[in-house]
Structure 1
Amino acid sequence: MADLPLLLLHAFPADARMWQRVRDPLSARLRLITPDQRGLGRSPLPETGREPDLADAARDVLALLDKLELEKVVLGGCSMGGYLAMAVLRAAPERVGGLVLIDTKASADAPEAAANRRKIAERAESEGVTGWLAESMLPNLLAENATPDVVETVREIIDSQPPAGVAWAARAMAVRPDSLDVLAKADVPALVVVGEQDKLTPPEQAKAMAEALPGAELAVLPGVGHLTPLEDPDGVSDAILRRFS
């Protein structure tokens, strides 16, 4: 698998900067690709006239692979990036040569969670995101013992996101389907990583994905929460390199 590039998709409401702490160790051994997803970071939000759907974001990923002339990659994602990776797998399984699912889950949103995402979208559009979104999400994104520099990095990344992109992503996640059936058909090497203290997608969700995937390994990282690439970059990098280099 070392000959396949690794494409990593970021969490919500973040951008590709969340991979900064794993970039050097991974890039030393693998070709690493970390795009901003539509409407977030520096990636524009296309005017489609369609309701938000991760299937459209999956087409963005496939278009990027075509642009880079890559037939197949090891595809990974954290949180929303994992949902997007599963949407790509649903759309074009032949383009996925391996999977890295980090602090994510295969199940669809419960009605209450979907309603909360829609409220976030509406508030982002009406108020912007600065001053409330990071503060409301940080307690669930990071472990209680997260270092001040990690907390500040996450706050800065969230505060800088375009409100329209945040709203689009929130609405797209709210309507995503359950993907356990897609994972069960994915006969590729796979790695599932989760923080032991992840409140949003806890270890039992990671275990369910690992059990569904025919070729999966599970790595539970102690003492960290939902954003393991920022909280424990060495643990994440080592797990990926053991599996795919």
Structure 2
Amino acid sequence: MTLDGAQLRKTLEADRELAVRLKAFRGIVRVTLGPTVFDLVVDDGAVSSSDAAEAEPTVGVTIPTELWDLMAVEKPQVGLECMTSAQVFGATIDADWPTLVAPYLGAWNRIVRLGVDAATGRHEIVVDADPFADSDDPVGRYVRFDVDGLEHRVYYETAGRGPVPVLFMHTAGADGRQYRHVLADPALQEKYTLIAIDLPYHGKSLPPLGSRWWEKDLKFDKAQLMAWITGFIAATELDRPIFVGCSVGGQLASDLCAHHPEAIRGAVGVNGLYHMESWQGFDNDRFRDPRVAAGAVGSTMFDVTGMDAPEDFRREVEWIYTTNHRDVYPADNDYFMFGHDLRVDGHLIDTAKTPLIILTGEYDISMLTPDDNGSALAANIPGAEFIVMPGLSHFTPSDDPEGFRPHLTAALDRIAAS
């Protein structure tokens, strides 16, 4: 599709979000979207444009022509729907990560998104109300339990009155607010008791007394995460809930089936993988740099939300990430990226006793690595199911609740009936 460069420049100059995201930035941004090349001159959020000059830019946002031609289409292939994932294929943001890329990451991603929108005619989807506002009545409370000699005070919300409990775990660096739509679903409330947890250190679950978290890099491993979940189940006296986790929770779903089948009656792993060998080059420590605020994580996660999901719900993903402590995302991600490998312990899973269903969004980045992802899990663990959710992405429980609803409902019903 053809990009009108002159019109895009006018759009960028007038874009209110871009002006907010570029506050305190001063410099030249060279934008290269295929054959379209121009400079943005930015002064504390005020944006003007010009033809590309000979002067060295402060930041370069570049998508090579062969890549741009694949991105600027109505339905791009997996991995080319946003700037964050397109960097796997050669898109670049050329500048110093902690001082120029991370603080303004939302701006650099937005430039590309507005360029794609201009080329394709795509528009944000707007909703007027929450889908289940009339039944949005969760009850929040705290429970205390010990893990590794520390007392944890853990927040959770409950909704519904059904006979089968379902425990929901959030993504890395986030909290139970991601499941607010799911907990409000009246049909699920009839059949299930729905519980969304804020893991320790996340959301309203403050770090435990005595943890001295400020003296170290936070790192959460598989054993610790599983102990938090099983400790919570025991403390709340849940009767073998169905466990549902997304992303890092999707990894934990299968690990719980392997190591703690006595605690759960089955699991749904949303965007969970078999192993992470293809992702071992991921630089998790860049998010531990003290110059990098939580907003960099929020901007990254917002960029990989579903491109057809409602804008307000996509924005909630960024809000939740940005309001959690910066160190929690890399702490969780240590396990997600480097601590999960079912080639080692997947043989412990007995799906006849503990059913396991993997739900993966068509646009989840794991779809780029079929040897690692949920399809590999199902191929190697007898009885495990792998289901692709068309059009959905990594944060589907929160950014596209109505699109996620039929897939989740079917998975829960199958496990409950087993």
Task: Pick the TM interval, shorter chain.
Answer: 0.7 to 0.9
Are positions 1:81 and 2:81 aligned together?
no
Report what 2:311 is aligned to: 148
Q: 2:281 aligns with which of 106, 112, 120?
A: 112
In 1: Cα distance, 2:260 partner to 2:195 partner = 18
Q: 1:99 aligns with which of 267, 278, 288?
A: 267
Deviation per CA, 1:84-120: give whole Å up to 9, x if none: 233333432221211101112121353312xx11222
Alignment of 1:1-245 (within 5 A): 3-25=163-185, 26-46=188-208, 47=211, 52-108=220-276, 110-113=279-282, 116-120=283-287, 122-123=288-289, 125-130=290-295, 132-139=296-303, 141-180=304-343, 182-184=345-347, 185-187=349-351, 188-200=354-366, 204=370, 205-245=373-413
In 1: Cα distance, 2:163 partner to 2:342 partner = 27
In 2: Cα distance, 1:174 partner to 1:221 partner = 23
Say if 1:166 and 1:217 are closer, same or farther in 2 by CA, change over 3 A. closer
Partners of 1:195 and 1:220 within 8 A in 2: yes
Query: What is the count of residue pairs matched by the alignment?
Result: 238
Shift of 1:180: 4.5
Determine helix, strand or coil for the equivalent of 2:397: helix
Determine helix, strand or coil for the equivalent of 2:173: coil
Deviation per CA, 1:44-71: give whole Å up to 9, x if none: 2342889531311210111111111134
AA partner of residue 133 (structure 1): V
AA partner of residue 24 (structure 1): A
Partners of 1:103 and 1:202 within 8 A in 2: no
Structure 1 residue ranges without an equivalent (≥5): none
Q: Percent same amino acid among aligned pairs?
A: 23
Say if 1:92 and 1:227 are closer, same or farther in 2 by CA, change over 3 A. same
Greater Cα shift, 202-211 or 27-36: 202-211
Structure having greater relative contact order (Cα 8 Å, sep ≥ 6): 1
Shift of 1:40: 1.4
Say if 1:180 and 1:30 are closer, same or farther in 2 by CA, change over 3 A. farther
Greater Cα shift, 57-66 or 146-155: 146-155
Greater Cα shift, 181-190 or 192-201: 181-190
Greater Cα shift, 202-211 or 155-164: 202-211
Determine helix, strand or coil for the equivalent of 1:226: coil
Q: Kindly indicate which of the two structures has a greater share of residues assigned to helix.
A: 1
Determine helix, strand or coil for the equivalent of 1:225: coil
AA partner of residue 184 (structure 2): D
Partners of 2:306 and 2:314 within 8 A in 1: no
Please provide the CA RMSD for this pair. Answer: 2.6
Say if 1:4 and 1:202 are closer, same or farther in 2 by CA, change over 3 A. farther
Deviation per CA, 1:140-193: give whole Å up to 9, x if none: x31333332122111111110112323422333343030245444232223221
Q: Kindly indicate which of the two structures has a greater share of residues assigned to strand.
A: 2
Kindly name which structure, 1 or 2, has the bigger radius of gyration based on alpha carbons.
Answer: 2
Greater Cα shift, 26-35 or 171-180: 171-180
In 2: Cα distance, 1:201 partner to 1:13 partner = 22
In 2: Cα distance, 1:31 partner to 1:19 partner = 13
Shift of 1:17: 0.9
Say if 1:155 and 1:166 are closer, same or farther in 2 by CA, change over 3 A. same
AA partner of residue 306 (structure 2): A
- Using structure 1 for the length normalisation, give the TM-score: 0.84
Say if 1:192 and 1:111 are closer, same or farther in 2 by CA, change over 3 A. closer
AA partner of residue 19 (structure 1): Y
Determine helix, strand or coil for the equivalent of 1:17: helix
